[in-house]
Structure 1
């Protein structure tokens, strides 16, 4: 009888756990569905009732003039033999100077680093790359092509192609996630790591699974996993919804915002696989000690970022085995390097001057 009761108790506990898990994810996806319905209603309102007030342009066939600004650098291309992919990047500064490599986030491209390209080219060889699936870089169609291993390997291949064996690595948003993983996997290639609005992957995984509110803030992860629906949303009315989002979010001129229409579609294959379980899978394949970063780290975060949590930012310190500086910028949004470029550039210069100094960057 005792065994029967014990067996029934185990069944009830297992059932309760499953109900909890189902309820948890139902809440997350239910919230995503609600946001999707609201977005559709707003889109219909703009298209049907306010067609001219909101939408005044479509997808351009020619690049906006601001992308050809020579003061930002030279447009270059590299084809990596191993992957066979061609990458586009913009470079400035003398070739013999230390390398500072910039990795953009979603749904951006090299242009998001325009203020930093101008600022740091005086003492660095600055390179802002379009990652695979973005901008003018190649777009592999298979979702398997966007694994973290592939994205990290891309960074390694590009650094070596540029003639360097190490760099100062700067990443924002999901580019920041790749920067964290690159510094973990190839510590000898990162002299200093600068990350904007992106926590250490282990911190994000742990925090998100313990705080449903953080998953709700990251609900777009799950939206992009829906089959074909994200592409449908973006493509409605000649991709003009993306242009509108670009204007309000990035605070750039109309002539520059139109490029986002193509970028968001190209970037879909990347973002749809980036969820906390994917990050957890990558990190679980590494020994625990290898989740730590041995390079000096600067973490910058905008206080008005919807993803910002003080506890999550502070927890990154646990995974740094070197100097760690955290700067939370009040009044700044998620698009930190474009929203507050002067403050960001000043903080980066201060960080670069600390410790070893700039001489440590030379090969």
Structure 2
């Protein structure tokens, strides 16, 4: 199982899933290029969709597998959609959390212009330097509110980030030039081949936190026209955008049910003696694997 995080997260956002599935599956969390401890090239063209998808492919290869259960949230979910479109042979099953199919997102924006306002941050991030300055003001107040604020942050009181956990997310971003690589995802994607209208042919599950105040409305259940294979959609009430951290028990149960569901297709059988890889970093020479035992 390969987990892809979003912004401003890193691999640590999958801690509950790594612990849950590591006993029976080979579980891997990837620090995406430019995030966490992975290399952070400075050029915008280092964050093209093609290169980001190569990182995923190379990670699967380096780990000694030919395919995986691919799980993505936010930007990681968007990359997972694209990887499933480009390399369906390398995706056994696709699990997406709070990330719309690219074509569904575009359709929602075009049909209801009001939705464009809710995606205004993506347009703002196209500007040079100004987004980095804005996000770093008042000790990264905007990012703190994004993860922990009353409107945007984790809703589950029992799962809200501690100050130490929040600082863990902000540490790399607060280093000189640390915000530019993650923001380059927005800058490169909107000028790249983002809006693919191909139908995904892999067995897919979409999990959506109902109280997501970040992504556009109407995209959580609008993926069926873009899926050729079996698909199931689950919405989790009273759950924020940060679904895998907000409601980990519910998310983990949905994943178990999805992996073992014989009605959809053949179940993905557990690997006996599974191994948890807490972090995989992307380096210039390809994925660098750091094993962390649970």
**Does the TM-score normalized on the shorter chain lie above 0.5?**
yes
Q: Alignment partner for residue 272 of structure 1, among 187, 193, 207?
A: 187
| Structure 1 residues 151 and 342: alpha-carbon distance in aligned structure 2, compared to 1, 3 A threshold | same
Higher helix residue share: 1
Deviation string 1:8-58 (CA, Å, 9 cap, x unpaired) is xxxxxxxxxxxxxxxxxxxxxxxxxxxxxxxxxxxxxxxxxxxxxxxxxxx
Q: Which structure is richer in relative contact order (CA contacts within 8 A, separation 6 or more)?
A: 2
Deviation string 1:274-310 (CA, Å, 9 cap, x unpaired) is 3397512xx3xxxx6xx11111000010110122534
| Structure 1 residues 260 and 203: alpha-carbon distance in aligned structure 2, compared to 1, 3 A threshold | same
Residue pairs, 1:167-182, within 5 angstroms: 167-182=68-83
Q: Secondary structure at the match of 2:65?
A: coil
* Cα distance in 1 for residues equivalent to 2:240 and 2:140: 25
Q: Secondary structure at the match of 1:358?
A: coil
Gaps of 5+ in 1: 1-99
Hey, what does 1:8 align to over in structure 2?
A: none
Hey, what does 1:340 align to over in structure 2?
A: 247
Q: Secondary structure at the match of 2:222?
A: helix
Hey, what does 2:102 align to over in structure 1?
A: 201
Contact 2:260 2:269 in 1 (8 A): no
Q: Alignment partner for residue 162 of structure 2, among 253, 259, 266?
A: 253
Q: Alignment partner for residue 127 of structure 2, among 195, 203, 226?
A: 226
Deviation string 1:141-187 (CA, Å, 9 cap, x unpaired) is 11111111111111001100000000000000111010010001001
Is 1:359 matched with 2:237? no
Q: Alignment partner for residue 130 of structure 1, among 28, 31, 40?
A: 31
Q: Secondary structure at the match of 1:359?
A: coil
Q: CA deviation at 1:243?
A: 4.0
Q: CA deviation at 1:235?
A: 3.0
| Structure 1 residues 361 and 188: alpha-carbon distance in aligned structure 2, compared to 1, 3 A threshold | farther
- What's the TM-score once normalised by structure 1's chain length? 0.66
Q: CA deviation at 1:352?
A: 0.5
* Cα distance in 1 for residues equivalent to 2:78 and 2:2: 14
Greater Rg over alpha carbons, structure: 1
| Structure 1 residues 194 and 121: alpha-carbon distance in aligned structure 2, compared to 1, 3 A threshold | same
Hey, what does 1:156 align to over in structure 2?
A: 57
- What's the TM-score once normalised by structure 2's chain length? 0.80
Is 1:120 matched with 2:1? no
Q: Secondary structure at the match of 1:315?
A: coil
Hey, what does 1:146 align to over in structure 2?
A: 47
Q: Alignment partner for residue 315 of structure 1, among 212, 219, 222?
A: 222
Contact 1:246 1:260 in 2 (8 A): no
| Structure 1 residues 326 and 244: alpha-carbon distance in aligned structure 2, compared to 1, 3 A threshold | closer
Deviation string 1:54-108 (CA, Å, 9 cap, x unpaired) is xxxxxxxxxxxxxxxxxxxxxxxxxxxxxxxxxxxxxxxxxxxxxx000001111
Q: CA deviation at 1:240?
A: 5.5
| Structure 1 residues 241 and 195: alpha-carbon distance in aligned structure 2, compared to 1, 3 A threshold | closer
Number of aligned pairs?
254
| Structure 1 residues 330 and 321: alpha-carbon distance in aligned structure 2, compared to 1, 3 A threshold | same
